[in-house]
Amino acid sequence: MEWCSEECPKGYRRTAIKGIHHCCFDCVQCSNGEISNETDKGSCIKCAEDQWPNDKNQCAPKPTDFLSYGNDVIAIVVSVISIIHFVKTSIILVIFIVYRDTPVVKANNQSLCFLILVSIMLNFLSVLLFIGRPVHVTCLLRHTSYGIICSLTMSCILTKTIMVYLAFKAVKPGSCWRKCIQAKCIHCVVFIFSFIQVLICFIWLCISPPFPEMNTHLCLEKIIIQCNEGSMVAFSIFLGYMGLLAAVSFIVAFLVRNLPDSFNEAKYITFSMLVFCSVWIAFIPAYMSVTGKNTVLVEIFAIISSNEGILACIFFPKCYIILIRPDLNTKNVLLRNAH
């Protein structure tokens, strides 16, 4: 018996031509995710989720995709940048410790400055948790560790901003605000603000913690290994609290920016929070528009740039005064700027 159509090659399937003899047919290429490993097949075979059709004639294992040191030069670059920023922050911390008895450091609350610098150092190191194959431990620690440390940074900055206002109020004779600017009260406020984020993370990890997953649907040619946030509600509350602390810090600092504040501390905080909020507002559409390892890179960029903004706006001016202009680091200049 002779066929009026030639045999379909591998990777194709037969489909009947309506209104023509059943011996006549067309050859149609297999759909995405399907193969035909024999000639003249009437149907295609669907590949398993962890496999993809190689030239439509055999199922091959899908390659995995995640941000790694072995395959991505950018992973090495961001790691080096993170470590450089960590070392730079460490140097600033040493400078503040060495010059802790000078007016410019004393006037801006030593303990809060030290806490902010240590938390920024840890924020830069937390970037390293985002690089490498996601496993259960790193998925648990990625966002929670950064969120808690970042909340400590924001809590210190917010407390620092509030203290600027209270310190101005406390100089008035008979003021009842003097008790509020004592070290115990300051540390208590920082602890409360930070503990709220710890509590949010604890509930998140108890209800539906993050976990590693192999996403086979986002891209047909490869398996994207990523961290699933678990409960999106808890993750949203977690991010929202950090945003709330940053927004309140910015608003309070902006309102008190014109007070006769020594070394313009409120103005520096205003600029730092403006940079921080701008980075994370820009992060949202960028995060939603990318996939795979690019989402991790966007997060890393946001972490590094937002913390660098805080470092540059709050601490660089003080380092300039301490190291370059020691003539401004005197009690007389401090008192003159306060009036």
CATH architecture of 73-337: Up-down Bundle (1.20)
- Count of alpha carbons within 13 angstroms of residue 307, beta-carbon side: 32
Q: What are the tens digits of pLDDT across the range 152-163?
A: 998 888 888 877
Nearest residue to 226 (alpha-carbon basis) of 172, 277, 287, 158: 287
Find the mean pLDDT for residues 18-26: 63
Among 46-60, 116-130, 167-181, where is mean pLDDT lowest?
167-181
- For residues 182 and 163, what is the distance between their CA atoms, to the nearest angstrom? 10
Query: pLDDT: is 70 or 311 the higher one?
Result: 311
- For residues 314 and 125, what is the distance between their CA atoms, to the nearest angstrom? 20
Phi/psi class of residue 39: alpha, beta or left (left: φ > 0; alpha: ψ in -120 to 50)?
beta
Are 69 and 132 spatial neighbours (Cβ–Cβ below 8 Å)?
yes
Find the mean pLDDT for residues 176-188: 63
Are 53 and 34 spatial neighbours (Cβ–Cβ below 8 Å)?
yes
pLDDT at 91: 94
Helix (H) or strand (E) holding 279: helix 265-289
Quickly list DSSP for 93-118.
HHHHHHTTTSHHHHTT-HHHHHHHHH
pLDDT at 188: 83
Quickly list DSSP for 39-72.
TTBSS-EEPPTTEEEETTTEEEEPPEE---TTT-
Question: Whole-number mean pLDDT of the chain?
Answer: 80
pLDDT at 80: 94
Helix 232-255 / helix 136-170 crossing angle, nearest 10 deg:
20
| β-pair partners for 45 | 35
Query: pLDDT: is 166 or 75 the higher one?
Result: 75
Q: What are the tens digits of pLDDT across the range 222-261?
A: 788 888 888 889 888 988 898 898 888 888 888 876 666 5
Model confidence band, residue 2 (pLDDT cutoffs 50, 70, 90): very low
What residue ranges do the domains of the chain occupy?
12-61, 73-337
Q: What are the tens digits of pLDDT across the range 93-105?
A: 999 999 888 888 7
pLDDT at 1: 41
The share of the chain scoring above pLDDT 90, in percent, equals: 20
213: tokens are: 């997953």
pTM: 0.80
Q: What are the tens digits of pLDDT across the range 80-132?
A: 999 999 999 999 999 999 988 888 877 777 888 899 999 999 999 999 999 98
| β-pair partners for 63 | none
Q: What are the tens digits of pLDDT across the range 201-221?
A: 999 999 989 988 888 777 767
- For residues 55 and 71, what is the distance between their CA atoms, to the nearest angstrom? 25
- Unique residue bearing structure tokens 């970037």: 127
Whether pLDDT at 338 is above 70 = no
pLDDT at 174: 55
